[in-house]
Amino acid sequence: MSTVRQVITSLKAPMSLGPYSQAIKAGNTLYISGQIGLNVETGLMAPDVESQAEQVLKNMGYILEAANMNFSNVVKTTVLLGDINDFQKVNSIYAKYFKEPYPARACFAPGSLPKQAKVEIEAIAVDGLLCSD
């Protein structure tokens, strides 16, 4: 049995900076590529880490919307920081978008990110989730 693979794109989120897709849906699972704080309307990167985190999550929301999903469908994220000292600042913005039960998450600081971004977040979401506590 084969799984259908579908490219998911939102014109409200920045287009890919290289040879990859904004997101790929395979079966009922959506894989969202790392999003940075670029604003599509202005073409500019948000100025500080909090504003970038906010824009990153807005961009992710646009992609989820294009796949007929929302933040409650996200089961796993990876947060990349330019500076690990920004963890608490990004965490406070992140908490505005994700509610319990929170997705699983990894967070680390690789040192530098594309376009000198201060934060990048990728995600995995699953369509048709039912929550049980």
Mean pLDDT of 67-79: 97
Q: Catalytic: which of 45, 107, 109, 126?
A: 107
CA 8: distance to chain centroid? 13
Quick: pLDDT tens for 116-130: 999 999 999 999 866
CB proximity list for 22: less than 8 A, separation 6 or greater: 7, 8, 9, 10, 13, 15, 16, 32, 33, 63
pLDDT at position 115 = 87
The residue written with tokens 């048709």 in the block is 128
Q: Is 107 a catalytic residue?
A: yes
> For the chain, which domains are there?
5-126 (3.30.1330.40)
Given pLDDT bands bounded at 50, 70 and 90, which one contains residue 18? confident
Cβ neighbour number for residue 110 with a 10 Å cutoff: 10
- The CB density around residue 87, as the number of other CB atoms within 10 Å, is 17
